[in-house]
Structure 1
Amino acid sequence: MNGGKLQSALRELQEFAASRNFWIVLAAIVVLFTVIGPFGTGEHMGVLPRFGFWLVNLFVSTWIAILIVVFAELYLDRLIAAPFPRMFAGSLLACPVIGLTTMFIVYSWRGPEPSWPTYLENTAQAFPISIVFTLIFWASMRHERQIRLATESSALDASPTVTAKVKAAGSAPAQDQAPATEPPPMLARLKPENRAPILRLSAEDHYTLTVTSRGRELILIRFSDALSEIGDTVGTQIHRSHWIARAAFEALVTRDGKLMARLKDGTELPVSRSFAGEVKAKVANWSVD
């Protein structure tokens, strides 16, 4: 199992566990199922046993679905390019596992003996539940993440430290400086402690190394997709595998006949021949300390 993908999966699961929206939605569904008593639970169980049954059943089933969906989204990237179809595929894969789990939970509540017909029936019932619930939870998580990112970015923009860094980076000409209207979408993929102005991106297999003024993080995303998520961050691509921000750039240098971009932290990245002309023209307009 790839260590980077495993870390990404665990990070996603931690976000679910720490999400207030997740627990609110789960609690609301448990209460709803307790009140309406679907699948015969209203006729065969009292209110308290029914509440306990749906609390256990929905908690276990939901986490099984989320666990499988998260790993499917990460590990099916070579077969399915778009995230939403991968999530849908994960929901389908979760149904047989949820059906088996439900069968034994029902049996533990003194239900019928486990059997193939019971398993198939539970799996069929899990099909719409797994898909709908996964979509609801995912939507609530994405909404919560966007709100958190916007809040943190506003605080970051107001920070005296960040303001000083922006001033120290120099002022770009008007035609090269786009007003930041909203945080770059790429920031939402980073850990909260790393969310800050993006300094550079580098492709590493199926991952993109993202370096900000707060730190660095390896993200499971194609380099081309990462470039589309940098928003209004001013910079330029210098190589098929490297992009740098104006705020990070220091100078162009030559090493053994090869053009390199030296950054303010001392890092030197190659400038490919196909990008050399564009890069030279671009950086000529940048104010460099």
Structure 2
Amino acid sequence: MQLFDMFGEPPQFTIHEMTLVLRSGVFLKYAAAVAVLLTAFDTHGYREAGMPLTANMLLWAVCVAGFVAVYVAVLLGWFALAPGGQQVRMLRLVPNVTAMATVSLVVVAIAAFFTGQEFGWRVVLQRLPYNMVLSYTFETLMFVFILPQADAALGLGLYRQQIANRAAPAEGPPGQEAALPQAEGPNGTAVVVLGGQAFKLDRLRYVKSEEHYLRISAGDSELTLRGRLADLLAQVPQEAGLQPHRSWWVARDAVAGLKRGGQSDLLLLADGCEVPVARGRRTHVRETVEGWQAGTE
């Protein structure tokens, strides 16, 4: 999943990595600081209207927690509904507006209970523009300062994909990253580097992404190294293989055939392994495999 960001590099992360960031000490301290600042400045004058300090503190704690919960729910929903196999990308404004509109309704309702102020859509709509500016300001601070700190502390490498993309701006077919100039080993053999180790390209059979690790099948061996599939896609030429699923890359020479199904396809490998084909990539995979098969006849 990738969030478009106007400041710095857009982070790209898995659901597991998002969970790690939300549970990190850096993020939790920032969330607490936001709640304290909102309480201290009493931005909507609720304490002046008669709300007790403890209730005001609870109000803004609920506001911050609710905003994060709805924000994450929008991301997960977007991820679940996205076409299979496609990289999920979202403008930050989408989850922000959804979360802030929901939280504004809750905040006005709680404030009305403690202060006797009017509760209704008119009040919510009056508050919403200011709340949007406030939430986008805090969110931007999060992306510019807090997220990079959490990323460095956890060692996730949320920004490495964009480094590869800057080095290779040309785009390939759906699901295939543009290739960087390849390194060469002895006798001009093409080499790719994954997890700090070099592999001859013609020895790779498949690479499977498992969270922030790669399961690499090369020759007669298989090993697991820390890394991302993007590390491989940025180095291999398009004709060397294909990406049937967001978690898989398969070498051309390893493909034995394609098993078509009504709901899903399976890519058949020479070693008997079956690789799932994402719905969003079925057409591309079918055309590619048919082209390879036609070329060998």
Relative distance call for 1:18 and 1:278 in structure 2 (3 A) is farther
1:230 counterpart = 2:244: no
Output the CA distance in 2 between the equivalents of 1:172 and 1:278: 29
In angstroms, what is the RMSD of aligned CA positions?
5.0
- In structure 2, distance between residues paired with 1:12 and 1:98: 25
Mapped partners of 2:107, 2:89: distance in 1 = 28
Among candidates 264, 270, 278, match of residue 262 of structure 1: 270
Q: CA deviation at 1:26?
A: 0.2
Q: Given the alignment of the two structures, is residue 106 of structure 1 paired with residue 124 of structure 2, yes or no?
A: no
Matched, 1:53 2:41: no
Distance 1:10 1:229 in 2: 21
- For normalisation by structure 1, the TM-score amounts to 0.53
SS at match of 1:196: strand
8 A contact 2:59–2:107 mirrored in 1 = no
- 2:62 match: secondary structure: helix
2:169 alignment partner in structure 1: none
* Structure 2, gaps ≥5 residues long: 1-12, 158-184, 198-206, 259-267, 276-285
Any conservation in 1 of the 2:257–2:289 contact (CA below 8 Å)?
Answer: no
Matched, 1:63 2:69: yes
Query: Which is bigger in relative contact order (C-alpha 8 A, separation at least 6)?
Result: 2
> Distance between the aligned counterparts of 2:255 and 2:75, measured in 1?
45
C-alpha separation in 2, matches of 1:198 and 1:252? 16
- What secondary structure sits across from 2:118 in the alignment? coil
Shift of 1:65: 3.0
For the residues of structure 2 that align with 1:113 and 1:144, how far apart are their CA atoms?
Answer: 41
**CA offset digits 1:60-82 (Å, max 9, x no partner):** 2332233224424654679x987
Q: 1:23 deviation in Å?
A: 0.9
Letter in 2 for 1:51: M
CA distance in 2, matches of 1:268, 1:55: 49
Q: CA deviation at 1:253?
A: 6.7
Post-superposition CA distance 1:111-159 (Å, at most 9, x none):
4131232121233333223434444445644663465235xxxxxxxxx
Which aligned segments of 4 or more residues in structure 1 are displaced greater than 6 angstroms?
226-229, 233-236, 251-255, 268-271, 276-279
Aligned to 1:32: 37
What is the distance in 2 between the residues matched to 1:213 and 1:233?
19
Q: Is the 8 A contact 1:30 1:51 kept in 2?
A: yes
The residue that corresponds to 1:149 in the other structure is: 156
Tell me if structure 1 keeps the 8 A contact 2:108–2:123. yes
**Contact 1:72 1:90 (C-alpha < 8 Å) held by counterparts:** no
Aligned length: 216
What code does the residue aligned with 1:125 have? Y
- Is the helix fraction higher in 1 or 2? 1
Shift in CA distance, 25/130, structure 1 to aligned 2, threshold 3 Å:
same
State the AA in 1 paired with 2:156: L
Q: What TM-score do you get using the length of structure 2 for normalisation?
A: 0.51
CA distance in 2, matches of 1:82, 1:267: 27
Per the alignment, residue 291 of structure 2 pairs with 274
CA distance in 1, matches of 2:235, 2:140: 30
Q: Identify unmatched segments of 5+ residues in structure 1.
A: 1-7, 151-170, 201-211, 216-225, 280-289
Indicate if the aligned counterparts of 2:21 and 2:150 stay in contact, CA closer than 8 A. no
Q: Does the 8 Å contact 1:57/1:105 carry over to 2?
A: no
> Which shifted more, 125-134 or 89-98?
125-134
Separation in structure 1 between the aligned mates of residue 295 and residue 142 of structure 2, nearest angstrom: 44
Which whole-Å deviations, capped at 9, do the CAs of 1:247-270 have from their partners, x for residues lacking one?
A: xx7x68799xxxx7524xx42779
Other-structure match for 1:167: none
In the alignment, is residue 196 of structure 1 matched against residue 210 of structure 2?
no
CA separation of 1:190/1:61 partners in 2, compared to 1, >3 Å: closer, same or farther?
same
CA deviation map 1:218-264 (0-9, x unaligned): xxxxxxxx668634479964457373269xx7x68799xxxx7524x
Distance 1:240 1:191 in 2: 17
